[in-house]
């Protein structure tokens, strides 16, 4: 991603444009062309996991276009179903995502506790997997998630919330709960 966020707390990104033109955003490399990647894995030592890793991160009034995703998580979860989420208290507010074309969604997160996506516009964003094409993806152990007052145009689905089985290995079932 343009920004990789790990072990951070209390960050605000606001008032700028992210132009991904020239980045390959189709196929399996799409998750490498996101704007913001929140990760619980040490980039220098992939076996090191941080729990929880990121808290109180805000994305506000950002124009993101022509990339593989806007805000997403790259998370290797433990096999323990009782393990806590890795990211807490995220806000995506008043952002415009246009022509986000790739494997990832404009906002695609998992293992998050407390996320609000509000007042955003998602225009003409598509996925390389059309049946999994959506503006907002709250997946795999996302809790207390709210999406409200967003405008979506050009999607097959607006939003999904799902359960993930075997997250990170093992037999863990990681339910998503309390999603509005």
- Beta pairing, strands 87-93 & 54-67: parallel
Q: Among 121, 134, 50, which Cα is nearest to 92's?
A: 121
E-only strand ranges, 50-95: 54-67, 69-74, 87-93
Q: Which token pair is 135?
A: 């503006």
Q: Which residues contact 22 (CB under 8 A, 6 or more apart)?
A: none
* pLDDT score of 57: 96
Dist. CA 126–CA 114, nearest whole Å: 26
How would you classify the pairing of strands 173-174 and 41-42?
A: unpaired
Retrieve residue 49's tokens.
């996991």
Question: How many C-beta atoms surround the C-beta of residue 167 within 10 A?
Answer: 24
Positive or negative, the Cα torsion across 77, 3, 150, 61? positive
pLDDT value at residue 114: 92
Q: Which pLDDT belongs to residue 61?
A: 98
Q: Indicate the pTM of the whole model.
A: 0.83
**pLDDT tens across the length of the chain (180 residues):** 688 898 899 999 999 999 887 665 555 555 557 889 888 776 676 666 666 678 999 999 999 998 888 998 876 655 454 566 678 999 999 999 998 876 667 898 888 889 999 999 999 877 666 566 788 888 777 888 899 999 988 766 666 666 655 454 445 556 666 776
The pLDDT of residue 143 is: 83
């Amino acid at each position: 991603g343009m920004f990789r966020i790990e072990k951070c707390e209390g960050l605000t990104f606001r008032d700028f444009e992210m132009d991904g033109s020239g980045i390959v955003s189709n196929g399996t490399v799409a998750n490498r062309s996101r704007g913001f990647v929140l990760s619980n894995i040490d980039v220098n030592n992939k076996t090191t996991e941080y729990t929880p890793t990121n808290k109180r991160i805000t994305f506000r009034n950002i124009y993101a276009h022509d990339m593989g995703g806007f805000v997403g998580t790259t998370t290797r979860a433990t096999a323990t179903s009782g393990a806590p989420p890795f990211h807490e208290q995220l806000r995506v507010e008043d952002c415009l995502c246009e022509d986000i074309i790739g494997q990832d969604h404009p906002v695609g997160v998992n293992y998050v506790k407390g996320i609000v996506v509000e007042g955003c516009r998602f225009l003409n964003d598509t996925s390389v997997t059309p049946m999994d094409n959506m503006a907002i993806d709250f997946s795999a152990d996302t809790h207390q998630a709210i999406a409200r007052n967003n405008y979506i145009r050009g999607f097959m689905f607006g939003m999904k919330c799902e359960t993930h089985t075997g997250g990170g290995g093992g037999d863990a079932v990681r339910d998503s709960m309390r999603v509005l």
